């Protein structure tokens, strides 16, 4: 068994225009001061990383890695959640998702998709240059608006959607494979990969590609009422990244899983800081340790109630307390009676 690495923190929800969240060195100093050992780094903000340069220059990647290490931290994974989203966008969402793209690619879905695919390919090489073996992203979605359809879905629509999704991702997965890096899809509402079955459908379309792996985030499964513990039993061989994010689901006679168009604080299902929700992290950490998960435990803050900096401070300690230093021996070794074939035969009366 392996001891899980951590605590790490996903920087996406903390980056801003005020210190210490507006530069790499300052945010690293802040994270290290809270007890984090790693940072999961978004890749769209040039103040923190020039993704193309990290892909094309090993020298730049080494310097970036060294700057982070100078604060006593490691880069856990790079993240292309927003670029991954743009690999596949249904036209109904074009206007909203244009916000994730540079101005040069807005109002041009074809060019925007090509840009997103190239961003993922840069991320593969940048991850390799940084010595990383896992990468966090979203799958994008062509079908999400049809998950509970009215009128009913036309026959063959889902198969066509997953065929196209796989077609777009195969060159990316192959690039990651060439770089020795796993693509870890965060299984998430709003993506075509939002539960175990949709992930399996995608796997089939990409011929069980060895790099089509998973970022495990139980918070999304609480909101879907999916068994997030058994999910680990099903998919542990593919889980290569882990977000420690909490959530809760409190249905009433007025609303349930769909949330009634309410704000996050007023939905039946809502995200919380680690330890404040309903996720059984003690069992999760035990399961992941049992299955030899070798990656990081990374806090993602998306609480609808608690202040972000308070959540970060508490989250670092929460992860530290939940990480299990795994044993290097069996608990009953002290009572071992030895044995060989002859000895065992005597015990059996043979």
Cβ pair 140, 126 in contact under 8 A? no
Return all residues near 154 (Cβ < 8 A) that are at least 6 apart.
none
pLDDT in tens, 201-258: 999 999 999 999 999 999 999 999 999 999 999 999 999 999 999 999 999 999 999 9
pTM exceeding the 0.85 threshold for the entire prediction? yes
The whole-chain average pLDDT of the chain stands at: 96
pLDDT at 336: 66
Residue spans of the domains in the chain: they are 5-347
Question: Is residue 334 predicted with pLDDT exceeding 70?
Answer: no
Cβ pair 60, 48 in contact under 8 A? no
Please say whether the dihedral angle defined by the alpha carbons of residues 15, 21, 22 and 23, taken in this order, is positive or negative: negative
Question: Is residue 260 predicted with pLDDT exceeding 90?
Answer: yes
What is the average pLDDT across 139-161? 96
pLDDT in tens, 17-69: 999 999 999 999 999 999 999 999 999 999 999 999 999 999 999 999 999 99
Please say whether the dihedral angle defined by the alpha carbons of residues 92, 186, 84 and 298, taken in this order, is positive or negative: positive
CATH class entry, domain 5-347:
alpha beta
Question: Is residue 330 predicted with pLDDT exceeding 80?
Answer: no
């Amino acid at each position: 068994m392996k001891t899980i690495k951590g605590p790490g923190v996903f920087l996406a929800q903390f980056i801003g225009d005020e210190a210490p969240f507006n530069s790499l060195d300052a945010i690293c100093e802040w994270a290290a001061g809270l007890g984090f050992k790693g940072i999961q780094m978004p890749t769209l903000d040039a103040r923190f990383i020039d993704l193309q340069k990290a892909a094309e220059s090993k020298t730049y990647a080494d310097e970036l890695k060294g700057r982070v290490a100078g604060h006593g931290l490691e880069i856990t994974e790079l993240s292309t959640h927003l670029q991954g989203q743009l690999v596949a966008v249904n036209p109904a969402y074009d206007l909203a998702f244009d916000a994730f793209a540079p101005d040069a690619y807005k109002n041009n879905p074809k060019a925007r998709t090509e840009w997103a695919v190239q961003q993922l390919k840069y991320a593969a090489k940048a991850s390799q240059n940084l010595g990383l073996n896992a990468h966090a992203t979203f799958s994008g979605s062509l079908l999400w608006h049809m998950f509970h359809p009215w009128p009913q879905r036309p026959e063959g629509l889902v198969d066509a959607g997953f065929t196209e999704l796989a077609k777009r991702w195969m060159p990316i997965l192959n690039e990651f494979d060439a770089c020795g890096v796993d693509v870890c899809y965060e299984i998430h509402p709003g993506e075509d990969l939002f539960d175990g079955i949709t992930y399996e459908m995608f796997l089939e379309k990409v011929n069980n590609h060895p790099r089509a792996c998973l970022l495990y985030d139980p918070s999304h499964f609480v909101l879907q009422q999916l068994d997030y513990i058994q999910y680990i039993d099903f998919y542990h061989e593919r889980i290569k990244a882990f977000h420690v994010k909490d959530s809760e689901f409190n249905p009433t006679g007025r609303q349930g899983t769909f949330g009634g168009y309410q704000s996050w604080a007023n939905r039946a299902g809502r995200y919380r800081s680690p330890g404040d929700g309903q996720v059984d992290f003690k069992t999760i950490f035990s399961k992941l340790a049992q299955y030899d998960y070798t990656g990081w435990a990374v806090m993602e803050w998306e609480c609808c109630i608690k202040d972000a900096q308070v959540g970060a401070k508490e989250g670092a300690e929460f992860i530290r307390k939940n990480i299990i230093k795994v044993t290097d021996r069996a608990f009953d070794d002290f009572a071992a009676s030895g044995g060989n074939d002859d000895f065992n035969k005597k015990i059996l009366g043979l």
